[in-house]
């Protein structure tokens, strides 16, 4: 629920609750006020009638009844009540409010009944209810509309700024654009967001520069070491020294590969590969397979291919890395005389290979530096890079192991 809808809903609930309470209170107060007024009028009429009797005048008028009571046990005082009287003109029963009072005048006791018609409490309630309901509806609707459009106007800069913040990236060369507002809290929020994004952008640029410089500085000495080791291996050395050189070269190669992989992951995290264009994924995959065909044959791996033409929209370098990492992974972990199945059709890329179970839980397979304990030469970054490439391209990547088969599935985003 949006902020605008929530505030409107809360206003509606509060308004209806207040109107129900005030409506009930209004009914009670008006009923008491009307009843007190009718009682006062009836008391005044009864008092005037008794006054006339004291002067020897007997009032004879509709809705007035005077009886001379001989029963001394008749109680004195006022009695109010309601009664139904037949109306011969309208030919229906009408509700009347009455007052009965008994007084002693001289040696006689008189019982006077005076009556006053009213619309009846049912009709009274109904009339007030409809009037109040109409008023409540008009007030509520007008309040909701005023509240909705007023808040919409007030919150417009907030929603526009929210969209700008959602679309903003620290890797973008443009600064965050925020709309001004007359609301103090929104002004403070804009100031905070601008300060935060500027500091984040500075930190991002500093981190990117450090990563690139560190990778470059590390790669140079690695290349020098590699070159020196190559030259040493050409000299006359002992068998033991040759073993040391081979181990050193292996470590340098692994470190160089890890350095490049970490640099690539940093670029993927920072979304530096923004350039995208149309790529025939099936052709790129077929090219990599042909280049590695001899490697599969060397391990006597049975390669089963089903490649349908598939066009995607991505970065060429990343697609080469993704396919290369996948093929290197299956080549490394498929045992001799094993089988690899590659299926590309209906916008789905599936690659399966026979092999031993993982030496760790399945859910960690795409985590960085996660590798099979039996393969110490691996950097544990190949599948992590594949995952980041899929995330960058909004592709779905899944893994499963059943019946001795490792299966990776990528649902590609295809061009229509």
What sign has the CA pseudo-torsion 383, 389, 392, 393? negative
Looking at residue 1, what is its pLDDT?
Answer: 60
How high is the pLDDT of residue 325? 86
Decide: residue 25, CB within 10 A, 0-12 exposed, 13-18 middle, 19+ buried. Answer: exposed
Nearest Cα neighbor of 386 from 375, 373, 396 is 396
pLDDT in tens, 23-74: 788 778 877 887 888 888 888 888 888 888 777 777 677 778 887 777 666 6
What SS3 string covers 202-213? HHHHHHHHHHHH
DSSP 414: B
Q: Are strands 302-307 and 311-314 parallel, antiparallel or unpaired?
A: unpaired
Which residues 6+ apart lie within 8 Å of 319 measured at CB? 279, 281, 284, 312, 389
Q: Residue 415 above 60 pLDDT?
A: no
Residue range 317-334: mean pLDDT, rounded: 87
pLDDT score of 416:
44
SS3 assignment, position 82 = strand
Question: Can you give the pLDDT at residue 269?
Answer: 67
Q: Which of 1-10, 93-102, 159-168, 298-307 has the lowest mean pLDDT?
A: 1-10
What tens digit of pLDDT does each residue of 154-168 get?
778 878 888 888 877
Q: State if pTM tops 0.95.
A: no
Instruction: Please answer whether residues 8 and 141 qualify as being in contact, where contact means their C-beta atoms are separated by less than 8 angstroms.
Output: no
H or E element in which residue 351 lies: strand 348-354
Task: List pLDDT tens digits, range 362-390.
Answer: 787 888 777 766 666 667 777 888 888 88
> What is the Cα–Cα distance from 251 to 137, expressed in whole angstroms?
81
- How many residues are present in the chain? 416
Domain 184-269 CATH assignment equals 3.30.70:
no
Residue 73 has a pLDDT of 63
Pairing of strands 311-314, 277-280: antiparallel
β-pairing verdict for 339-345 and 302-307: parallel
SS3 15: helix
Closest Cα partner for 114 from 91, 98, 137? 98
Judge whether 289 and 319 are in contact, CB under 8 Å: no
Domain boundaries, the chain: 3-139, 184-269, 277-411
For domain 277-411, which CATH number applies: 3.40.1190.20, 3.30.565.10, 3.40.30.110, 1.10.645.10?
3.30.565.10
């Amino acid at each position: 629920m949006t902020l605008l809808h929530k505030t409107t809903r809360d206003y509606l609930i509060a308004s209806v609750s207040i109107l129900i309470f005030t409506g009930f209170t209004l009914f009670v107060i008006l009923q008491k006020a009307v009843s007190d007024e009718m009682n006062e009028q009836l008391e005044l009429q009864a008092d005037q009638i008794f006054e006339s009797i004291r002067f020897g005048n007997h009032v004879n008028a509709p809705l007035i009844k005077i009886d001379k009571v001989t029963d001394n046990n008749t109680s004195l005082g006022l009695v109010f009540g309601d009664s139904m009287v037949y109306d011969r003109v309208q030919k229906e029963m009408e509700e009347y409010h009455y007052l009965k009072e008994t007084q002693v005048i001289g040696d006689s006791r008189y019982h006077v009944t005076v009556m006053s018609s009213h619309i009846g409490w049912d009709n009274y309630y109904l009339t007030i209810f409809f009037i109040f309901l109409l008023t409540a509806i008009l007030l509520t609707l007008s309040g909701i509309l005023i509240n909705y459009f007023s808040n919409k106007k007030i919150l417009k800069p907030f929603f526009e700024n929210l969209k700008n913040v959602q679309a903003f990236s620290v890797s973008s060369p443009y600064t965050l654009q925020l709309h001004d507002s007359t609301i103090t809290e929104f002004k403070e929020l804009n100031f905070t967001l601008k300060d935060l994004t500027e500091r984040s952008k500075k930190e991002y640029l500093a981190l990117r520069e450090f990563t690139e410089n560190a990778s470059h500085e590390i790669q140079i000495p690695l290349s020098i070491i590699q070159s020196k080791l190559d030259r040493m291996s050409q000299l006359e050395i002992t068998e033991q020294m040759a073993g040391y050189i081979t181990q050193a070269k292996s470590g340098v190669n692994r470190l160089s590969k890890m350095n490049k992989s970490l640099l690539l992951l940093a670029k993927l995290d920072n979304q530096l590969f923004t350039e995208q264009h149309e790529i025939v994924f099936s052709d790129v995959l077929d090219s990599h397979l042909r280049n590695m065909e001899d490697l599969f044959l060397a391990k006597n791996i049975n390669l089963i291919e089903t490649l349908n033409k598939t066009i995607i929209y991505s970065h060429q370098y990343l697609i080469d890395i993704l396919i290369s990492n996948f093929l290197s992974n299956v080549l490394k972990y498929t045992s001799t005389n094993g089988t690899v199945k590659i299926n590309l059709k209906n916008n789905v890329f599936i690659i399966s290979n026979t092999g031993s179970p993982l030496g760790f839980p399945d859910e960690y397979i795409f985590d960085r530096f996660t590798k099979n304990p039996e393969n110490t030469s691996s950097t544990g970054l190949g599948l992590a890079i594949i995952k980041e490439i899929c995330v960058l391209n909004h592709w779905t990547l899944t893994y499963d192991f059943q019946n001795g088969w490792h299966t990776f599935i990528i649902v590609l985003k295809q061009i229509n």
